[in-house]
């Protein structure tokens, strides 16, 4: 499924984020930046040790990465050129600022991609794995945040959501259909 937002094509596909030949892929990291499970583990495994080396340097400089923030490293052996590491919120019922932090994770990642001069960026479904954010709500918040940012005008040509399974893809498709232009 696709939608044009200003200059940018918003695309929803089923797939593996580590296989995307885009300028930047986004990692659903944790504040330690030291790797983990899910997307994070897959990116470090496929990208090799150069990514963790750069994460360690970032941690020396800034300490933990706060939820809603985003930082950049090499993509190592991945087909992408950069990895943008962001931290989504852990779901605690929805009244602890989770939507704002999730929106910030997407928007800060888009800003890093724009600063890098990227033309294409791929996102996973942040926070809907180990962090427990309900899928339908996360899909709506993610798409609203990305669309609102792109509507302000962006040099990005493509923003791709790479969803790992049919139910996750279906949730994002439903959420996008409900967000009529
Ligand atoms: P979080 O800790 O932010 O919840 P997870 O990595 O645990 O992040 O899960 C986020 C989503 O990413 C889940 O829908 C999970 O199925 C999906 N996922 C796991 N591996 C990959 C991958 N290689 N490519 C794309 N999505 C993936």
The pTM assigned to this predicted structure is: 0.98
Report whether residue 18 contacts ligand 1, using a CB cutoff of 6 Å: yes
- Domains of the chain (ranges plus CATH)? 2-178 (3.40.220.10)
Mean pLDDT of 5-15: 97
**CB 22 within 8 Å of CB 158:** yes
pLDDT at 47: 98
Asked whether the beta carbons of 171 and 136 are under 8 A apart, the reply is yes
Residue 175 in contact with ligand 1 by CB distance below 6 A: no
Q: What's the burial of 152, exposed, middle or buried (CB within 10 Å: 0-12/13-18/19+)? A: exposed
Q: HEC string of 14-79?
A: ECCHHHCCCCEEEEECCCCCCCCCHHHHHHHHHHCHHHHHHHHHHHHHHCCCCCCCEEEEECCCCC
User: At 18, is the pLDDT very low, low, confident or very high (cuts 50, 70, 90)?
Assistant: very high
Q: Residue 23 above 90 pLDDT?
A: yes
Q: Best mutation site among 13, 16, 27, 28 for ligand 1, i.e. most ligand atoms within 8 A of its Cβ? A: 28
16 has catalytic annotation: no
């Amino acid at each position: 499924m696709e939608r044009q937002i200003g200059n940018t094509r918003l695309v929803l596909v089923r797939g593996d984020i580590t296989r995307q030949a885009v300028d930047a892929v986004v990692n659903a990291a944790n504040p330690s930046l030291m790797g983990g499970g899910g997307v994070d583990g897959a990116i470090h495994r496929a990208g090799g040790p150069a990514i963790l080396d750069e994460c360690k340097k970032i941690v020396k400089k800034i300490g933990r990465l706060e939820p809603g923030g985003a930082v950049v490293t090499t993509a190592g052996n991945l087909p992408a050129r950069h990895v943008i590491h962001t931290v989504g919120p852990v779901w605690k019922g929805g009244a602890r600022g989770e939507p704002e932090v999730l929106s910030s994770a997407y928007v800060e990642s888009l800003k890093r991609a724009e600063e890098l001069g990227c033309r294409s960026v791929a996102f996973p479904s942040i926070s809907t794995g180990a962090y427990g954010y309900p899928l339908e709500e996360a899909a709506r918040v993610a798409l609203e945040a990305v669309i609102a940012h792109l509507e302000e005008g962006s040099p990005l040509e493509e923003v791709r959501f790479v969803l790992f399974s049919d139910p996750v893809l279906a949730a994002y498709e439903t959420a996008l259909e409900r967000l009529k232009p």
